[in-house]
């Protein structure tokens, strides 16, 4: 009986080891886009992405200030400081800044 249980266990382990493995594909993030080269269609995508990042990342820790509460010159150091706290990439920070520049 012990032999059959051991054999069954080895067989089941073998089946699971041969099962298809699911790969997690990470999101591919585009490179930082200079405002000079943004087309109208991509501009709206960046604004949407920046808005979502602003609401979902910044809004997780504190209430969100209105984008026009600060000047663009004020926003840059704020975003630099908060990037580390929110653990966002340089691209995500730039998307948020792009959203803010279009919202003021």
Q: What single string gives the DSSP state of each residue in the chain?
A: -HHHHHHHHHHHHHHHHTSPPPPPPPPPPPPP--GGG--HHHHHHHHHHHHHHHHHHGGGTSPPPPGGGS-HHHHHHHHHHHHHHHT--HHHHHHHHHHHHHH-
Q: Give the model confidence (pLDDT) of 43-83 as tens digits.
A: 999 999 999 999 999 998 999 999 999 999 999 999 999 99
Please check whether residue 50 is in contact with residue 98, taking contact to mean a CB–CB distance below 8 angstroms: yes
Q: Which tokens belong to 75?
A: 């926003």
pLDDT band at 28 (very low <50, low <70, confident <90, very high): very low
Closest-CA residue to 68 (of 102, 96, 98, 36): 102
Whether this model's pTM surpasses 0.85: no
């Amino acid at each position: 009986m012990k032999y059959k249980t051991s054999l069954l266990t080895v067989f089941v382990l073998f089946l699971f080891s041969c099962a298809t493995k699911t790969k997690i594909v990470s999101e591919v993030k585009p490179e930082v886009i200079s405002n000079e080269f943004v087309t109208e269609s991509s501009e709206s995508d960046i604004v949407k992405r920046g808005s979502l990042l602003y609401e979902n990342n910044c809004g997780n820790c504190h209430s969100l200030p209105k984008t026009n509460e600060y000047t663009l010159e004020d926003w840059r150091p704020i975003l630099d400081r908060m990037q580390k706290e929110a653990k966002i990439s340089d691209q995500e920070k730039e998307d948020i800044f792009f959203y803010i520049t279009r919202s003021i």
